[in-house]
Structures are given as structure tokens and as C-alpha cells.
Amino acid sequence: MLQIKDKYIVTDIETNGLLDSADKFWCAWIYNSVTETFTGYRSLSEYFGVLNTCGNSGYNIVFHNGVKYDIPCLKKLMNKDFDLILGMWSSIPWCWEGWSMPI
């Protein structure tokens, strides 16, 4: 079973609507366990770049509601398929939904 590593980030996004109507990214926050800092993002591309960097640097990524909202919404807002950007998003070991349920 997948386990949380010492290196992880916890993240959540805010947009202007539910998944079917969201068309504007408002902000996101990331907590980094290594630096013990919270960082806010208003730029979607900057935020996504940090997710990509962390994911490819051995971090676990923990979302508040990643499977049902954050990941599909990010795909929609970025108009990109994460499989092309981050590898196999749903099968790589650093992507978690919540604190206890692996994707």
C-alpha cells in the first residue's frame, strides 16, 4: 500500500463554480512539509508548475477533493490532459486523495 512520505504537499484550489460551470481559477494554497510553509497562488500556470515540480521531485501530493473536483477542474481550466504533463496522474505514487485514500 502507498504510504505518505516525509516529503509531501497538501493543496486545495478555489474557483468560481462547481465542476460543470467553473471557468475561472481564483486561488490555490500549498502546504509544504519540507519547508513547513503555506504558499498561495493566484496564477494557475504558476500553481500547476509547482505541482509538476513537486510531483516529479518525490513529493506525495495530497488534495482536499482531488478525484472529484480539483484534478478534473484543473484539466478543464488548463485545457490539458495531465497524462501528457505529469505522466500517468492516477497511477503515480505521489498523488493522493485526502489523507488516507490512495488513488
- What is the residue-level pLDDT of the chain in tens, covering all 103 positions? 455 567 888 899 999 999 999 999 999 999 999 999 999 999 999 999 998 888 888 888 888 787 788 888 998 998 877 653 343 333 344 444 443 333 3
> How far is the C-alpha of 91 from the C-alpha of 2, rounded, in Å?
11
Q: Is the separation of the CB atoms in 48 and 69 below 8 Å?
A: no
Model-level pTM? 0.74
